[in-house]
Amino acid sequence: MSQTMIPDFERTDLGNIQIAPEVIAVIAGLATIEVAGVRGMSGGFAGGITELLGRKNLSKGVKVEVGSREAAVDVSIIVEYGHRIPEVASNIQTNVKRSIETMTGLLVVEVNVHVHDVHFKSQEKVEETDPTIRVK
């Protein structure tokens, strides 16, 4: 019978500390939407179905693999039009890595950013102010 070894940083005098993968996913989601240029999270890893999600469900669009001392994260996002996608993605990687490592003590070995859509601000404004569009 083999036993799973609990890392030293998760063992205290009072017992063990376990962090659920869902907690890591919420931290990653919050860190992602803090980055300028991120319109929202995309819920569609499978099938590429994209939807804007509110703050209530920040673990959507985030996939986490957690080991005993390391974590790998995938985030799916929607970018605001006009922002440099490589810059936004790099800022997400930095912010997610820093947030998870600071809050959990886990080493983040990779943060993969998947851009599923681009949101156009001007599209909303044209629909709201265009006098040729008639509402019935």
CATH of 17-129, picked from 2.60.220.30, 3.30.70.1350, 1.10.3720.10, 3.40.50.300, is 3.30.70.1350
pLDDT greater at residue 64 or residue 67? 64
- Looking from the CA of 30 toward its CB, the CA atoms found within 13 Å total 11
Domain range list for the chain: 17-129
Maximum pairwise Cα distance, the chain: 74
With a cut of 50, say whether residue 55 has pLDDT above it: no
Percent of the chain having pLDDT more than 70?
71
Contact predicate 39/52, CB 8 Å? yes
DSSP state of 48: T
- Entry pTM: 0.74
Range 112-129 average pLDDT: 76
Determine whether 10 is exposed, middle or buried from the number of CB atoms within 10 Å of its CB (0-12, 13-18, 19+).
middle
Q: How crowded is residue 133: how many other Cβ atoms within 10 Å of its Cβ?
A: 9
